[in-house]
Amino acid sequence: MFTGIIEELGRIRAIEKRSEDARIVIEAHTVTEGSRDGDSISVNGVCLTALDVKPDFFAADVSKETLFRSTLGNLKEGSAVNLERAVTPATRLGGHIVQGHVDARGTFLGLENHGDSRTFRFGYPKEVSRYLVFKGSVTVEGISLTIANLTDDYFEIAVIPKTFEVTNFSQLKPGDAVNLEADVIAKYVERILTEQANSGATFS
């Protein structure tokens, strides 16, 4: 589990294709501290198992399913990636509960500058629309964010200078695909209500 608070902006050092899977090597210094082989690290919002952890890099195997569902298949050598280590019992939950399980790909539509801050606009597929609410939480590229505006086709988020500086948001171009993860609490609520409707049960 993660919080969506990015710890470090890493870079892809190498990508090795392995049939329909891949192994990626990521340059990093912060998230490798205290990490061991087998630990979970979020890479652009995707929970991956760290392998061959060294002080300045780690590797991770990426399955065919993950390559298909997320944007990791679009990465190239030198690509910037958002990194976060899994939470511990002592971690401050500064964002929201993030599983690192990508629900869908969204599309970066553009941004508007407001002095130091910026408004980012993202298109989203219909399958995640029911989980998005105004002022609710959403994860984009592994970043915990609050929806500032919501329409049937896109949502907007306000990005402070710090987030822009320490994440790969500064490198997004219109049309770029992004990883989206909806709030897990919304998914559980939907499941409970669906089961209630199917069974005809009521809660008191």
> Residues of the chain whose pLDDT is less than 50?
none
- How much is the pLDDT for 2? 95
Return the number of other C-beta atoms located less than 10 Å from residue 82's C-beta.
Answer: 24
Q: What are phi and psi of 23, to 5 degrees?
A: -120, 130
If you search the block for the tokens 């399913």, which residue do you land on? 65
User: Do 62 and 21 touch, CB atoms closer than 8 A?
Assistant: yes
- How much is the pLDDT for 203? 52
- How much is the pLDDT for 195? 84
Sheet holding 46-49, edge to edge: 46-49, 40-43, 80-85, 8-18, 21-27, 57-62, 51-54
Strands 80-85, 8-18: pairing is antiparallel
Cα–Cα distance, 182 to 193 (Å, whole number): 17
Residue-range domains of the chain with CATH:
8-85 (2.40.30.20), 104-190 (2.40.30.20)
Element (H, E) at 190: helix 184-199
- How much is the pLDDT for 89? 76
Cα–Cα distance, 157 to 147 (Å, whole number): 5
Cα–Cα distance, 125 to 198 (Å, whole number): 26
Instruction: State pLDDT tens for residues 112-154.
Output: 999 889 999 999 999 999 999 999 999 999 999 999 999 999 9
If you search the block for the tokens 């195997």, which residue do you land on? 61
Local structure of residue 45 (DSSP, 8 states): T
Cα–Cα distance, 139 to 1 (Å, whole number): 13
Name the β-bridge partners of 125.
none
Local structure of residue 70 (DSSP, 8 states): S
- How much is the pLDDT for 193? 86
Local structure of residue 2 (DSSP, 8 states): B
